[in-house]
Structure 1
Amino acid sequence: MFRISTKATKLFTRDGSFFERRKCATLSKLSSLVDIKPEVREALRASPQSVVALESTIITHGMPYPHNLETALQVEQIVRDKGAIPATIGIVGGRIQIGIEGDRLAKLAGSDNRHTIKTSRRDLAYVLSNGLDGGTTVAGTLLIADMVGIRVFATGGIGGVHRGGENSMDVSADLVELGRTPVAVVSSGVKSILDIPRTLEYLETQGVCVASYQCADLDFPAFYTRSSGSMAAYNLSNAAEAAAMIKTNCALGLRSGFLIGVPIPAEYSLDRKVIDEVIEQALAEADRLGIRGKDVTPHILAAVSKITKGRSLESNKALIKNNASVAAEIAVELANIESSASDAPRRPSSKRAPVVIGGSIVDTCITVLEDDLKLNN
């Protein structure tokens, strides 16, 4: 028998990787469900702040093959070129993948998305227990990234309040997860197909800090277009400013996250009026066909791509690459801040001897290397 502290403890999984959490019992159960790519594992050991999480529904449901696989690999390389480590998150064969190996990434990209589940918090237990494949949504990726201490996450656009959501109550779980997960999501704002003003109001209610990136007028982007007509609460001028905000959020112990809106590169921006008309047509068609819930977004994205003759797909590729570049710059700055803090000289200790009244209690944190460790409950 031995006692494990409830403070953050490192527990090694079968492949040598670890998770840092407060409850070791949770860790011991989770370790049997997760694979971490060696490149990511080493980065998490050395500097978790330098890792950038990437979601996988872009691969499984957001783009057609082979564009999805090509883009996923290019995005990972962009993150590396900026000095950070990419961690694409998804589910293969009922196991969470944090950093998906090449063959598994190809499997997700090439699979029939009718047999690959868009996986949010509500779906995780079902997908894992049934040994299925899943593309993690923004919410699902946020949850998993937080489990291992990743603080920066790049995606295309987040979900939100659907048009007519005041009647249907169709609100993406992404918004709730952002309100309870201290991770910064770098995106091109909220998907254009959604009710952006109501989405921003909902995020405010959830305590999520929403900021534009390098937009002095606070104009919040709308995925395919650089402007949504809605304003962000703040503007971040550069990666260092964003990293300082994330660091402060962690120091305060706040459990809410950030949404950082990066406008799509100007040369790939689409005409806002045209996009709105296309979306209205696609929404009407979805309603006529009885398409509901999480199936609406893929339907509308496909319709937009068809009507814009593929230009929207190129825009989608461009914005996710740009977001990954910005996220990597923020992660590198965050790692630098953490490194500087750890290297700072300590304050001289007092020469006075400490006085202990009553007694002292020592909590011991341990590192477990055995593969088959079982806790005695």
Structure 2
Amino acid sequence: MSLDQTLLLSDEVRTAKAEGRPIVALETTIVTHGMPYPENIETALAVERIVRAAGAVPATIAIMDGKIRVGLTAEELKHLASLKGVMKLSRADLAFALSTGRPGATTVAATMIAAHLAGIRVFATGGIGGVHRGAETSFDVSADLYELARTPVTVVCAGAKALLDIPKTLEVLETLGVPIVTAGQDQLPAFWSRESGLPSPLRLDDPAAIAAFVAKREEIGTTGGVLVANPVPLTDEIPASVMRGHIEAAIADAEREGVRAKAVTPFVLGRILELTGGKSLATNIALVKNNARLAAEIAVALR
């Protein structure tokens, strides 16, 4: 089977590509693993509306029926959310899901791969994976970091998920040569919080400047992607001083229950949701929407 048969673009995405219109890729783990129902579907649909309102076309990506689906309808999103045994796909198992017909939701790494195959240059997500705490003994490092080093897609996020070891994540990204640009401030954001306590390697203050940077990298043939760290809006953030205690408690619970590998992040996020009385979910939704808006503006400026 050829790539043309495996890569299935929706009519809207195919038309946008033919007309040279800006497109923003969107992942689906937010639907299957990242948020509870009905917030998962409501957020996914709201994010698509935000992308359209900013002048771009949303391309939500998932693996269904042995195809890389680029652009899902509302009904298809709901169907994906209702399925049992949906795989959480990264680079290692993307082809497995395609070859076996298993349904799969795409992580940052898998979405980047699919977006690049479809010729999409910008991708909006919530937060990237990174170096897990204790990685010096567990060697638990997300494939997202290595995908950023090899795949030329600009990823707009609210920083690495704050449950990770952010300083080590920053060090790995710098070692891999991944440019990290923070939008509008000098300090790296930390997902639910606007500040991580770490200085950002680079800062740009508007979508046009970010797009110009991305375009210049493409012009000189620099490989890999760009990570754009977009701070959560001030009115929606949970300060780092507050989140720190919740994160430590949730990670301790995961360790006590023996949660490992891909199961760690969903478990910890769920536990943090309980500990914050739902506030972390509201902040998560706000930052995803904020990232979608910026990603669409960058895509429009790149056109």
Secondary structure in 1 matching 2:216: helix
Question: Would the aligned equivalents of 1:282 and 1:303 in 2 still touch at CA under 8 Å?
Answer: yes
Amino acid corresponding to residue 168 of structure 2 in structure 1: R
Partner Cα distance (2:295, 2:57) in 1: 11
Deviation readout 1:292-343 (Å, 9 max, x if unpaired) = 00100000000000111111111010000000000101111111xxxxxxxx
Secondary structure in 2 matching 1:228: coil
Equivalence for 2:14? 41
Partner Cα distance (2:158, 2:278) in 1: 19
Matched, 1:285 2:253: yes
Equivalence for 2:137? 167
Partner Cα distance (2:222, 2:118) in 1: 17
Deviation readout 1:81-117 (Å, 9 max, x if unpaired) = 01001101111222211011222111112334xx011
Partner Cα distance (1:133, 1:316) in 2: 25
User: What is the Cα deviation at residue 273 of structure 1?
Assistant: 2.1
Amino acid corresponding to residue 307 of structure 1 in structure 2: L
Matched, 1:72 2:40: no
Partner Cα distance (1:243, 1:46) in 2: 20
Gaps in structure 1 of 5+ consecutive residues: 1-27, 336-377
Secondary structure in 1 matching 2:294: helix
Alignment of 1:249-264 (within 5 A): 249-264=217-232
Amino acid corresponding to residue 211 of structure 1 in structure 2: V
Partner Cα distance (1:255, 1:51) in 2: 21
Matched, 1:30 2:3: yes
Deviation readout 1:44-90 (Å, 9 max, x if unpaired) = 12226x10011111111000111101100000010000100110111
Gaps in structure 2 of 5+ consecutive residues: none
Alignment of 1:1-377 (within 5 A): 29-47=2-20, 50-112=22-84, 115-215=85-185, 218-335=186-303
Aligned-pair RMSD on alpha carbons? 1.1
User: What is the Cα deviation at residue 257 of structure 1?
Assistant: 0.8
- Which consecutive aligned stretches of 4+ in structure 1 deviate over 4 angstroms post-superposition? none
TM-score by length of 1: 0.79
Amino acid corresponding to residue 46 of structure 1 in structure 2: E
Question: Would the aligned equivalents of 1:66 and 1:110 in 2 still touch at CA under 8 Å?
Answer: no
TM-score by length of 2: 0.98
User: What is the Cα deviation at residue 167 of structure 1?
Assistant: 1.5
Partner Cα distance (2:75, 2:4) in 1: 22
Question: Would the aligned equivalents of 1:182 and 1:257 in 2 still touch at CA under 8 Å?
Answer: yes
Partner Cα distance (1:179, 1:163) in 2: 21
User: What is the Cα deviation at residue 250 of structure 1?
Assistant: 1.1
Partner Cα distance (2:74, 2:181) in 1: 34
Amino acid corresponding to residue 247 of structure 1 in structure 2: A
Q: How many matched pairs?
A: 303
Question: Would the aligned equivalents of 2:184 and 2:206 in 1 still touch at CA under 8 Å?
Answer: yes
Amino acid corresponding to residue 120 of structure 2 in structure 1: I
Identity %: 50
Higher share of residues assigned helix: 2
